[in-house]
Structures are given as structure tokens and as C-alpha cells.
Structure 1
């Protein structure tokens, strides 16, 4: 009887351990999505404490690489997979499932005292590529332009570069995330940077110290704001994009309850409260 009890106790321990392991999810990637992902995970695990979710940022590229290396179940990404990445997954026989769970817009921000309300794409491209280096070339202010951007592993970095069809100037400061860019621009009257619109939309302190610049495609076009819901719903803002979650097919069974939560009424409400937009399926 004693031996039977020990076996039952041991079996119970093994089952508990397996259960916890099966419900442990690792999520890595986009800094654009990280704050939202953390809050979604916190609420989800409040509702179902059988799950544990570890989340880290570092950029879309890092998240995708983590999937390739077996170090994550979900990669948050603010860009689609590149052709090279698709081939790498094929070479390793790794199957992915793709979830598009929200839409985002990239906001361009300057210091609150910089008198710039709007900018056209050609001028913006010339600033970020280093062709225009002083604000006096476009506004009445003689100050050298300081650019606060992202590292090359960032999906936002790739997105902006591809949309404007430019290469960033080497003078651009490479920051690790939205928060660092915002802090840089807050402290620099000649600074310009780009961040996730959802990040600034829900940071009232940031909005008192920075200015969101409206974007127009041509000098004589209408300028649009990245934090205007109607603009995004009509797809009028030039720098709007879907947000992706790439999931290992082998992990789908344990990840699916969390994905279902994101698509629930509460999950969608949280996504919208963070300044992102729901994609109707």
C-alpha cells in the first residue's frame, strides 16, 4: 500500500509538472506590441491561472529569430516575414501559423516647441536619409536636425525605410524602443523620431512634451493624423500597417486559448484602449 501511495504521489507530481509546462508560453519580439502584449497576458492569466506567459521585446527580427532557434512560441512582429526568413523556416521544416490581431500606425514626433505641424513624404524622406540636415531648410528655425530611430532589427525601422524608399542616414541615433525615442525627443528641441501611435496615444505625459506631426503624401495633399480613428478605418494614413503574431505550429495547441482571448470582446476592448485598431475578419 505504501508503495502504491508513493507511485500515485509521484504520478501526480509528474502530471502537475507536465501541465504547467504545457501551459507555459514564451513570447518575444516587437517593441511596438510589447506593452499591449504584457497587459493582455496579465489579464488572460488572471482569468486562467493555469497559464504562465513570459514576454520580452527587442524588435521583430529578434522575435522571429527566437522562433527559428526554438526559444519562443510566439513572435510579435510589426512587419511580415521577409523572403529570406520564409526560406529559413522552410529549410528547418518549421511550420508557422500567422495571426493578424490588430492594426497600428507609425507616428512621427518632434519636441513640443518645434513649430512643425505637418510634413510631406518627400521632405520627411530627405530628413531621415540625411539630405536635409537643418530645420531652417523647411521651417523658420536654425537648428541641426537630430534623428531618433530604431535599430535595424526593428520591424518599425524596416517599415519606415520601405515605405519611404530610403536608406537612413548614419547620423540617426539607434534607440532600443519607443520609450527611449520619446525620452530623446522630449529632451531635444531639434529632435524628430518615429514610434508606434498606440504608444503615444496612451501616454498623456508624453503628449504634453512632444508634438505628433501629421503626414501628407504630397505638399498640396491633406495631412492626416495617426491617432485619428476615422482616418485609420478609411486607410488614409500612409504609415499604417497590420500587427502580426507568428506562432509555431507545434505550439498552437497551448497558444490557442490566449489567441482566443485576444479575439474576445474583452481582448478587443483592451487592444483599442491601447490605441490600436481592430481588423474586422
Structure 2
């Protein structure tokens, strides 16, 4: 009996020691595994933080000044383009001065500007191998009458005679025996200056004092729509069923004809530059003017976008 009891006690003791050893190993393993997990988490957190902290590289490092001189007909379009471009590129300053197309082209040839703005084609004597031109918009002006007017076509010459006061009755143009009511724009209007330039009104004696002068394309449109004997001129975007657009020299007033140059009261808007003096900031501005964002300002001011 004593021997059996002694053997039993020994066995119990051995089992207790074995259990204690296993528990200690499990605790050590758990501690080791916990440290490994914690270290891994810290590493992952550190990697994530470093990635987030990486600054995005500036896609534009443009700086400097761009000097633009030339056409006043494009001043509203250009000023909006310039404001937007400078907002995107705050280290670039663009100075635009309206001096007239001829002066802007002459400045480019002389090397005294970065860009010339022109509202006409270059003359042969202004062209040179190093002088490049880029069309950034088209301008088209529609001649409108009341839909009841029987006249459907008019020549550039007769437009000058109407607006100078030489032709005063519609029967002189094959229409009804009725006085012509002339509607024109205010003196500061770019559309007016373009229209008068295209019909060479100054050569015909200038605008008659009998003309009704109103502000804005919309007021020209409503004035003509409300008077059967009226004639006016508007940007293409103001042609609707309340007025009738005359053909000029038998050519319809459409954007396609204006772009093709076949419509007489149309013209291109150009940038002119010397390729030997074409800076990065100048090139970037020209590219912006041709972009979708830049072209939105062409439409906003009654111009015709490029293709």
C-alpha cells in the first residue's frame, strides 16, 4: 500500500511540473507573438504616414512676363483669358495693351512684344519666315431685319451706304417704299468697331446721325424685331426666329462660312509671334487660349470657337 501511494504521489508531482512548464512556454510564445504583431502594425503605420506626407509635384513651374499688344476688338476675350491663366499660373504676369492690329503686328516684327493680337489677316509685307500666326477665334457679324421685310440679300457696299445715310429707303434696295430705321451699337462696342471696319464705313463718311444707338446685342435684336423697317447687326448667337438674317453678297451668316472666310462680315482673331522669341510662358498662354477653357471665353463674348 505504501509503495502504491508513493508511486501515485510521484506521478501527480510529475504531471504538475509538466503542466507548469507548458503554461510558461505558452505565455512566452504569446508575449513573443504580441510583440511581433505590434512591431508589424507600427511598421505599416509608419509606411502609410510617409506615403501620405509625400507632397504632389507642381505640374507648372512657369514664371515671367508676357507682353501682348494689338487689336482692341479682342480685348474682352483676352482679358478674361488672361485673368484665368494668371489664376492658374500666379508667377506669370501678362500685360495686354490695345493698340490696334497693325501696331501689334509691327511690335512683333520689331521684337517689342511677346504676342501680337490681330483681328485681320497679315498683309504680304508683314509676313516673314520667323513670324508665325495662330488663329484663336473667328468673328462673324449678322445683318438682321424684321422677318416681314422683303429684302433678303445685301451687299457690303450698300451696307456702307445705309449706315452712312446715303440710302434711306427700302425701295432703293428692291423692298417696300418705307424709310430705313438704322440700329447701331454704342461707341465702345467691339462689334460696332468690327462692323464699321468690315464695311469700310469711315470711307463712306461714318455713321449717320439718324441712327438709333443702343447698348448690347440683345437691344439691337429686340429693336429690329419690333420694327418692320429696321436694320441692325448682331453676333451670330443672337439670330433667332424674331429676326431675319440677310445673306451678304449671297453668302449665309453661318459659323461654317465665317470660319471658311467666305462670309464677307467675318474675320479671324490671330496671335502673332516671333518663333525666335517664343518663351515657355508665352507658349503656355497660347495653348490655354486654344483649350476648351480658353475657348469658352470666345463664345461668352459672341465670337466663334475654332474647330
Cα pair distance change 1:60/1:106, threshold 3 Å: farther
| Distance in structure 1 (CA, Å) of the matches to 2:107 and 2:266 | 26
What SS class does the counterpart of residue 277 from structure 1 fall into?
Answer: coil
* Structure 2 partner of 1:255: 282
What SS class does the counterpart of residue 63 from structure 1 fall into?
Answer: helix
| Distance in structure 1 (CA, Å) of the matches to 2:194 and 2:266 | 13
| Distance in structure 2 (CA, Å) of the matches to 1:263 and 1:45 | 16
**Are 2:117 and 1:80 equivalent residues in the alignment?**
no
* Contact 1:224 1:231 (8 Å CA) reproduced: yes
| Distance in structure 2 (CA, Å) of the matches to 1:51 and 1:230 | 35
What SS class does the counterpart of residue 246 from structure 2 fall into?
Answer: strand
What SS class does the counterpart of residue 105 from structure 1 fall into?
Answer: strand
- Structure 2: 5+ residue stretches without partners: 1-60, 209-213
Give RMSD over aligned pairs. Answer: 4.6
Cα pair distance change 1:171/1:262, threshold 3 Å: closer
Residue in structure 2 matching 1:103, options 138, 141, 154: 138
What SS class does the counterpart of residue 278 from structure 1 fall into?
Answer: coil
* Structure 1 partner of 2:168: 134
What displacement does 1:38 show? 0.7
What displacement does 1:34 show? 1.4
Superposition TM-score, scaled by structure 1 size: 0.59
Cα pair distance change 1:181/1:69, threshold 3 Å: farther
- Structure 1: 5+ residue stretches without partners: 1-18, 174-178
Cα pair distance change 1:184/1:230, threshold 3 Å: closer
* Structure 2 partner of 1:170: 205
Q: Which stretch has the larger CA shift, 39-48 or 244-253?
A: 244-253
Aligned residues: 228
What displacement does 1:23 show? 1.8
* Contact 2:147 2:243 (8 Å CA) reproduced: no
Superposition TM-score, scaled by structure 2 size: 0.55
* Contact 1:30 1:76 (8 Å CA) reproduced: yes
* Structure 2 partner of 1:10: none
